[in-house]
Structure 1
């Protein structure tokens, strides 16, 4: 705590929501001596719109902090995705998971993709821990109920399945779905992206945020299946990310149509742009000089 308060160097809080009072106190004390403090809001939506008393109070505090020149609160979503974010933050960057893949990871995915032997069906994959917040109930139930989806797609879940949705997983397997119910390695995750024609990012309102799963799909140029009107959908529209949007009742109908093609080059260009803009914003907020261009 002492190092945070008295450091002459700028201080960056990576998740304001997890240490809100510490961030506010440290930022204000440091501002008294002109020392910069930057904080990232990883889930700004509740703070922007919730009517809960705690969220209203935090919203007011964040709005007040904008008055201080040495304090820079940033969201990890563009204000154009949700303009109300501008009431609680001075600026924004892109989520790190929209621009964090290395060249080696990209090359590994492209190599695995080139070695893939595609079957007759397209592959739609749900990646990461599976629960209701990630829309696993809708993902599995759609596959179980709609024969046309089973004819056109192989649905795969890749990640640990929480006990609360075990019944959905059991019915999913009986219908021919593939469920890898365990923690998966980074290499296996890259393999899952390589094998997929689309990635499941259709999350219910209580899980509404732009996830790392969507970020990796965007970087690799893989279309994402998103809920119509969600934060993920808005981000896809604003940033021209390949996607299919649908309502819960319209999943089968939307997936009956053509998918946007995978486009690795497009994903790479987008990730490079996200990185440049985000790094420039962070440097400015932290008061750091821009890197010198190569000679």
Structure 2
């Protein structure tokens, strides 16, 4: 758990820990004997296709992650149709593996453009040290007479911050039941909603959080606001870390996040804007630390196995896999193949 906004650096960190990955230069992409992975195919699409095809001629593996597969999978726009056609054709190449970070059973159309899928790294990357720190803070917490609902990360309309603030200000029944807390930089175009929240008795921390503050915010929360757009097609680090820590999340009804929570049986409340009072005054799922740990372990095992196969690495020994399923999460247990180094590529920030 590195920052509110550092999704791809967090991905690279996991790949470094598990597979010995390193950040590569453009030259490395073509010349590396080891597998190469692109962390965001959408942002370097033509380079990904070129590198994959050139490397395929030499029998070398190339892996690409689709972070936002929805437009390519379903959009009628010419650009997306072209990319959809190219990815479908590339599925015939054995040395090229395109992966989504959303399970196919959450949105089956993704299977038409990708070879396989993993769980978003931020659904299984919390370390034992971070988990223990949050649990220690929870034990020290003095519960009040209201639940704490927290919106973390950059606050914007896309994340439903306007609805979050407006609902708290308008409905006294919510103010009696919850303390609404927003922690993260507020987008300038909705800055007035931070004032609305504060005037109603909520709390708005309009700045980026440090790592320690982020852990503290999770520990202080009874539910996490994850009200992302219905068409949002990627998992969120905020949602993912809440899931791993066993904290219920509030998601937009019918969104991809809602589908993910339903399919994976994650602690959640699905809310439509017109039903916010009804849903948030109903039963609140209790936190379940053990379930969060189990889910993260399961996500890690499935994702590591898929990545190992994509990289052309040998499967994990059965004994080690069994030990991991009974003990520490494999998300924090390095599983490097001593003969393989993965070159990971991402665009400079």
Q: TM-score, normalised by structure 1?
A: 0.97
Question: Is the CA contact (8 Å cut-off) linking 2:69 and 2:233 kept in structure 1?
Answer: no
Q: What SS does the aligned partner of 1:80 have?
A: coil
Question: Is the CA contact (8 Å cut-off) linking 1:48 and 1:87 kept in structure 2?
Answer: yes
Deviation at 1:54, TM superposition (A): 1.2
* 1:238 matched to 2:263: yes
Question: Is the CA contact (8 Å cut-off) linking 2:68 and 2:233 kept in structure 1?
Answer: no
Q: Which protein, 1 or 2, shows the higher relative CO under an 8 Å CA cutoff with sep ≥ 6?
A: 2
* 1:50 matched to 2:89: no
Where do 1:23-102 residues align within 5 Å? 23-102=48-127
Pick from 196, 199, 220: which aligns with 1:171? 196
The CA distance in 2 between the partners of 1:208 and 1:245, in whole Å, is: 16
Deviation at 1:197, TM superposition (A): 0.5
Structure 2: give runs of 5+ residues left out of the alignment. Answer: 1-25, 324-349
The CA distance in 2 between the partners of 1:284 and 1:185, in whole Å, is: 36
Q: What SS does the aligned partner of 1:205 have?
A: coil
Deviation at 1:9, TM superposition (A): 0.9
Deviation at 1:208, TM superposition (A): 5.0
The CA distance in 2 between the partners of 1:84 and 1:92, in whole Å, is: 12
Q: What SS does the aligned partner of 1:288 have?
A: coil
The CA distance in 1 between the partners of 2:163 and 2:61, in whole Å, is: 45
Structure 1: give runs of 5+ residues left out of the alignment. Answer: none
Question: Is the CA contact (8 Å cut-off) linking 1:134 and 1:207 kept in structure 2?
Answer: no
The CA distance in 2 between the partners of 1:253 and 1:86, in whole Å, is: 36
Q: Which residue of 1 aligns with 2:6?
A: none
> CA deviation digits over 1:161-220, x for unaligned, max 9?
111111111111101110011111011111111000000011123545321111001101
Q: After the TM superposition, which segments of 4 or more aligned residues of structure 1 sit over 6 Å from their partners?
A: none
* 1:181 matched to 2:203: no
Q: What SS does the aligned partner of 2:180 have?
A: strand
Q: TM-score, normalised by structure 2?
A: 0.83
The CA distance in 2 between the partners of 1:24 and 1:63, in whole Å, is: 12
